[in-house]
Chain A
Amino acid sequence: MISFTMARQRRDPEGFRPRYQYFVFAAVVIFVIFFVRLWYLQVIKEQEFRLLSEHNRIRLIKIPAVRGMIMDRAGRVMADNRPSFNVLVTPEDVDDLQGLTNTLAPVLDLSPDEIAHTLKDRDRPPFQPVAIKRDVSWEELSFIKNHRLDLPGVEIQIVPIRTYPYDTVAAHVLGFVGEINRDELRKRKGYQMGDWIGKSGVELMWEEYLRGIDGGRQVEVDAVGKELRVLKEVPPVAGNQLYLTIDLDLQQYGEQLLGKRAGAIIAMDPLTGEVLAFCSSPPFRPALFAEGISAQEWEQLVSDPLHPLQNRGIQGLYAPGSVFKIVTAAAGLEEGVIRPHTFFNCTGIHYVGRRGYQCWRSGGHGAVRFYRGLVESCDVYFYNVGERLGVKKLSRYAEGFGLGRPTGIDLPDEKGGLVPTEDWKQERFGERWYAGETVSLAIGQSYLLVTPLQLLTLISAVANGGTVIKPLIAKRVEDLDNKILEEYPTKEISKVPISSETLGELREALLGVVKEDSGTGRAARVEGLEIAGKTGTAQVIGLQGGGRQQTQEMTYQFRDHAWFVAYVPADTPFAVVVLVEHGGHGGSAAAPLAREMIKRYFHHSQGEK
């Protein structure tokens, strides 16, 4: 022992001496308390604690929270939960693991190797049960229930599992949930291995609101892992409810219209930015991921040439084709390179240097003014406008209309597209910009790439008077008592730099596209409604190689993409974009779909809003 009593005989620093006896006393008292406490725990209570420690008798069992529901704008449930049954095994509680594996394998329709592999997870903390099969059938469930006594260490766990009542409807918007992976575990706080997490779509973006708070039970178990009693319990708290802006009826209708074709239809209110329908085709089954997707099913999904997992509305990049003439027209009028009465002569071909650029009408349009140029989508007219504007101004206006950057919708992995500039080309290809590329750009070809949603915000800007708005996918988040936690108001991103005169000319011509018998968008006409629109036919292969072929004659991958953008300037305005991949002409493949969407919206959904 240390001799602290000797201290007194030595010299002191001024005045510290008397008090440190108190400190010595205090320290000794506290340590004595510790000794007493240890004696109590380790000697008096030893038997009790030893018993508890022997088979880790006190365990923590998690009670997963019910994930919040996702509703459409009218409260129709698009993502729900149902109970599912998992078969759990706690290897430490099983004496004969091999025997158990052999018994369970045929019942659960698994091979003994598969079960053994699942049980061998190195990251599993000891005494933590492992799910050897999720979402088992009634037959499997009843077998295990009936043989409980012969199956030590096996338990049935009831957990909520995500379901989507309308199956594939709005799959890309909803996204899906899956088990958390290592990467996500590292990035996110408050998760454990085996937790469910939103992986894409709004399931991912609203994860914080939807997941709820997991509960748990502290239980005492017997030597074979059977629950003896619950010591403490914390009930889980269900997740919040998310209301989307989607109108389920219109959404389903849009998906039916696309059918088996690859493409996208998106509709929104151009004033508020609320997205009413967001269809991307082909869809996938989001529930597949919650049920546990097999390697084979996954392989099928990712190797499908039509890429069903891709959300074409925000991840598909296409040349806008003639839809871009809206931008070229606005830039031309605004910059004064043309006036409404300016005419160009279309002979069916336009030369830049020695190279000829064709108009889609091989015979030519003759003398064309602005209105007819846009209504009949005369390429030569816009070659001329583009040539007079130059690439700088064209790309500036393209950016002014919101192209070249993501629209900002709250969905993951949105692409920004590409608005080419001279600098960009120099950097990308180490080449200067050629004059011919400018005329190509003027009709929406060249390097220009857009997503369908970008074109929807573009046409919406024309409809709402020149404001690029953020498309909204969610209306609000409510808790279980219907208290509003979060609302998503309209957000203006930027103003398109055009005057009201330019806008007026543009709108008139776009109405003509549908109204006029010579208009390229006449197929979108609906009795009794004013509709403004613009067709687009985006070439997949270059213009060279002679004239244009008939769509039917070409192989699928080389067919043009068909575009149609439209808006209805009604009391409740409506804007829609249609893209049919490799559909051929915009006027014949896309415009009729837009017409059907408009009809559906104005004849059916009005009452339900």
Chain B
Amino acid sequence: MIDRRLWGQLDTRLIILTVALMVIGIFNLYSANVNIPGEEGSFYQRQLLWFGIGILLALAVFLIDYRYYEEFAYPFYFAVLVILVAVFIYGLMAGGGQRWIKLGFFYLQPSELMKIALIFALARYFAQREREEGYRLRDLFVPAIITMVPTVLILKQPDLGTAMVMVFIFSSIVMFVKIRFRSFLMIATSIVLATPFFWFALKEYQRTRILTFLNPDMDPLGAGYHIIQSKIAVGSGGIWGKGYLQGTQCKLHFLPEHHTDFIFAVLGEEWGFVGCAVVLGLFLGLILWGLTRGMRTQDRFGAIVAFGVTAMIFWHVVINVGMVVGMMPVVGLPLPFLSYGGSSAVVMLIGIGLLLNVRARRYIF
């Protein structure tokens, strides 16, 4: 099943885009943590290790024909679901949020892996049930369950960001595989109609929480303060930035998550508009690659997987950058390849491996 010619089918453009983002990510991470007592240098080194592991896994994912993944899509989904439930129950017993499971020497965040499992499961479902005229509401019932079960568990962890990405991946794929216009209208109107009832059913403090989420200014001591500091960091960068390692705002702990969720602010401060534009350009290139070259296959499963991975990367970028520039609610979500985080780095690289996989086998049908 491993063909020598397969190596020739590795898509260099995607690899260049990914490597460029990873290199920027490492340099930026170094800057984010340099000169901070107790953090000096440690994060970028560990991130390098994670990238190494991620690249090896991406290669492994690439080498195995993705049609095998179609066969194992459901078992894989259930296996990850079981881990997720295990972590959830363990978390309940430990009293409080639990996102991690310890596997030997490292911690696994099953919710990250769940995104890939969800893409596989949805891709398999829609690949095998083709509807020329588009899917009806009742066709969406099973995929909705497939999505909601892990999403609710992730939401309870609580990891609002990942839960949102799960729902967005589902919605994107549904739009992609074509839903009937009438069904779409029905979903849209019922959501619009249900919102007020839902709103009045909420308790006062729950409403406050949602309002604060939508408008961080209502929480000037928490999210509102972070957003202001993040905007100051990005804005003070100007066109050319303050220069590498010259940022002050982000290094000074005003952003509690400066090396994870607010890493883009570090970039914005030190590299200015030019740096931000380059990185956003690379992301856009990656996403457009996924939407064009990446999906160019005759196989429905392959196309949906490629689209799903692209959607996953897209939503991560949009939610994260939107938060940093103060356009979206504050949700903890890593920026692919730039934010520090082992599970995120590994899963994003697995996603790249899948994109390469589908791309390399586009002619076999």
Question: Is A50 positioned at the interface, with any CB of B under 8 Å from its CB?
Answer: yes
Cβ of A23 and Cβ of B231 under 8 Å apart?
no
Question: Is A84 positioned at the interface, with any CB of B under 8 Å from its CB?
Answer: no
Q: Which of B232, B252, B322 contacts A127 (CB 8 A)?
A: B252
Question: Is B132 positioned at the interface, with any CB of A under 8 Å from its CB?
Answer: yes
B278 to chain A, nearest CB (A): 11
Given contacts A15-B132, A49-B231, contact A56 B221 (CB under 8 A): no
A410 to chain B, nearest CB (A): 19
A49 to B229, CA, bound (A): 10
Cβ of B298 and Cβ of A125 under 8 Å apart?
no
Cβ of B228 and Cβ of A41 under 8 Å apart?
no
Cβ of A14 and Cβ of B300 under 8 Å apart?
yes
Instruction: List A contacts of B221 (CB < 8 A).
Output: 60, 215-216, 218, 234
A51 to B62, CA, bound (A): 49
Question: Is B195 positioned at the interface, with any CB of A under 8 Å from its CB?
Answer: no
Instruction: List B contacts of A2 (CB < 8 A).
Output: 13, 285, 288-289, 292-293
Given contacts A42-B268, A189-B96, A234-B221, contact A28 B284 (CB under 8 A): yes
B242 to chain A, nearest CB (A): 9
Q: Which of B232, B273, B314 contacts A38 (CB 8 A)?
A: B273
* Interface band, chain B: 35 or more
Q: Which 9 A-B pairs have the closest CB atoms?
A: A49-B235, A232-B220, A4-B292, A53-B236, A125-B253, A216-B221, A41-B235, A42-B273, A13-B303
Question: Is A424 positioned at the interface, with any CB of B under 8 Å from its CB?
Answer: no
A16 to B229, CA, bound (A): 43
A43 to B292, CA, bound (A): 33
**Interface digits, B225-245 against A, CB 8 Å rule (1 contact, 0 not)?**
100110111111111000000
Cβ of A35 and Cβ of B280 under 8 Å apart?
yes
Q: Which of B253, B287, B289, B297 contacts A126 (CB 8 A)?
A: B253
Instruction: List B contacts of A126 (CB < 8 A).
Output: 252-253
Question: Is B19 positioned at the interface, with any CB of A under 8 Å from its CB?
Answer: no
Instruction: List B contacts of A38 (CB < 8 A).
Output: 234, 268, 273, 276-277, 280, 325
Q: Which of A13, A15, A215 contacts B295 (CB 8 A)?
A: A13
Cβ of B237 and Cβ of A42 under 8 Å apart?
yes
Instruction: List A contacts of B130 (CB < 8 A).
Output: 14
Question: Is B64 positioned at the interface, with any CB of A under 8 Å from its CB?
Answer: no
Cβ of B295 and Cβ of A16 under 8 Å apart?
yes
A43 to chain B, nearest CB (A): 6
Given contacts A38-B268, A52-B232, A218-B225, contact A20 B285 (CB under 8 A): no
Closest to B248 in A: A53
Q: Which of A34, A54, A215 contacts B280 (CB 8 A)?
A: A34
A1 to chain B, nearest CB (A): 7
**Interface digits, B290-307 against A, CB 8 Å rule (1 contact, 0 not)?**
011101111110110001
Cβ of A42 and Cβ of B232 under 8 Å apart?
no
Instruction: List B contacts of A24 (CB < 8 A).
Output: 288, 291-292
A residues 85-144 near B (Cβ < 8 Å) are 122-123, 125-127
Closest to A218 in B: B220
Q: Which of B225, B252, B284 contacts A31 (CB 8 A)?
A: B284
Cβ of B249 and Cβ of A53 under 8 Å apart?
yes
Closest to B233 in A: A53
Closest to A46 in B: B238
Beyond known contacts A35-B277, A122-B37: 19 more, CB 8 A cutoff: A2-B288, A4-B292, A13-B299, A16-B295, A23-B291, A27-B284, A27-B287, A34-B322, A42-B234, A42-B235, A42-B237, A42-B238, A42-B239, A42-B273, A50-B238, A52-B232, A122-B38, A125-B252, A218-B225
Question: Is A45 positioned at the interface, with any CB of B under 8 Å from its CB?
Answer: yes
A194 to B36, CA, bound (A): 20
A243 to B327, CA, bound (A): 48
Cβ of A7 and Cβ of B292 under 8 Å apart?
yes
Closest to A18 in B: B178
Question: Is B176 positioned at the interface, with any CB of A under 8 Å from its CB?
Answer: yes
Q: Which of A1, A28, A42 contacts B272 (CB 8 A)?
A: A42
Question: Is A148 positioned at the interface, with any CB of B under 8 Å from its CB?
Answer: no
Instruction: List B contacts of A41 (CB < 8 A).
Output: 231, 234-235, 268, 325-326
Instruction: List B contacts of A189 (CB < 8 A).
Output: 96
Cβ of A48 and Cβ of B280 under 8 Å apart?
no
B115 to chain A, nearest CB (A): 18
Question: Is A11 positioned at the interface, with any CB of B under 8 Å from its CB?
Answer: yes
Closest to A49 in B: B235
A58 to B235, CA, bound (A): 14
Instruction: List B contacts of A7 (CB < 8 A).
Output: 292-293, 296
Instruction: List A contacts of B211 (CB < 8 A).
Output: none
Closest to A58 in B: B228
Cβ of A13 and Cβ of B268 under 8 Å apart?
no
Question: Is A301 positioned at the interface, with any CB of B under 8 Å from its CB?
Answer: no
A residues 15-73 near B (Cβ < 8 Å) are 15-16, 19-20, 23-24, 27-28, 30-31, 33-35, 37-39, 41-43, 45-46, 48-50, 52-54, 56, 58, 60
A513 to B13, CA, bound (A): 98
Question: Is B318 positioned at the interface, with any CB of A under 8 Å from its CB?
Answer: yes
Question: Is A10 positioned at the interface, with any CB of B under 8 Å from its CB?
Answer: yes
Cβ of B297 and Cβ of A43 under 8 Å apart?
no
Question: Is A231 positioned at the interface, with any CB of B under 8 Å from its CB?
Answer: yes
Question: Is B224 positioned at the interface, with any CB of A under 8 Å from its CB?
Answer: yes
Cβ of A20 and Cβ of B239 under 8 Å apart?
no
Given contacts A15-B132, A58-B228, A232-B224, contact A43 B289 (CB under 8 A): no
Instruction: List A contacts of B289 (CB < 8 A).
Output: 2, 4
A233 to B248, CA, bound (A): 25
Cβ of A20 and Cβ of B236 under 8 Å apart?
no
Instruction: List B contacts of A3 (CB < 8 A).
Output: 292
Instruction: List B contacts of A54 (CB < 8 A).
Output: 236
**Interface digits, A210-224 against B, CB 8 Å rule (1 contact, 0 not)?**
000001101000000
A157 to chain B, nearest CB (A): 17
A125 to B254, CA, bound (A): 8
**Interface digits, B250-262 against A, CB 8 Å rule (1 contact, 0 not)?**
0011100000000
Question: Is B321 positioned at the interface, with any CB of A under 8 Å from its CB?
Answer: yes
Cβ of A39 and Cβ of B291 under 8 Å apart?
no
Given contacts A2-B13, A49-B232, contact A39 B288 (CB under 8 A): no
A494 to chain B, nearest CB (A): 28
A345 to chain B, nearest CB (A): 61
17 contacts between A and B (CB under 8 A): A2-B13, A4-B289, A4-B291, A13-B295, A16-B178, A20-B176, A20-B292, A24-B291, A31-B280, A34-B325, A38-B276, A39-B273, A42-B239, A42-B272, A46-B237, A50-B235, A218-B224
Instruction: List A contacts of B327 (CB < 8 A).
Output: 33, 37
A10 to B362, CA, bound (A): 11
Closest to B96 in A: A189
A41 to B38, CA, bound (A): 32
Cβ of B277 and Cβ of A231 under 8 Å apart?
no
Instruction: List B contacts of A23 (CB < 8 A).
Output: 176, 291, 307
Closest to B132 in A: A15
**Interface digits, A299-339 against B, CB 8 Å rule (1 contact, 0 not)?**
00000000000000000000000000000000000000000
Given contacts A27-B287, A31-B284, A42-B268, contact A13 B300 (CB under 8 A): yes
Name the residue in B96, B235, B303 with the highest tally of chain A Cβ atoms < 10 Å from its Cβ: B235
Cβ of A20 and Cβ of B291 under 8 Å apart?
yes
Name the residue in A34, A125, A231 with the highest tally of chain B Cβ atoms < 10 Å from its Cβ: A34
Cβ of B291 and Cβ of A30 under 8 Å apart?
no
A293 to chain B, nearest CB (A): 28
Cβ of B220 and Cβ of A231 under 8 Å apart?
yes
A126 to B252, CA, bound (A): 6
Cβ of A234 and Cβ of B220 under 8 Å apart?
yes
A218 to B227, CA, bound (A): 12
Cβ of B321 and Cβ of A53 under 8 Å apart?
no
Closest to A232 in B: B220
A218 to B291, CA, bound (A): 44
Q: Which of A13, A15, A53, A218 contacts B297 (CB 8 A)?
A: A13
A48 to B130, CA, bound (A): 55
Instruction: List A contacts of B302 (CB < 8 A).
Output: 13
Cβ of A11 and Cβ of B298 under 8 Å apart?
yes
A42 to B268, CA, bound (A): 8
Instruction: List B contacts of A125 (CB < 8 A).
Output: 252-254
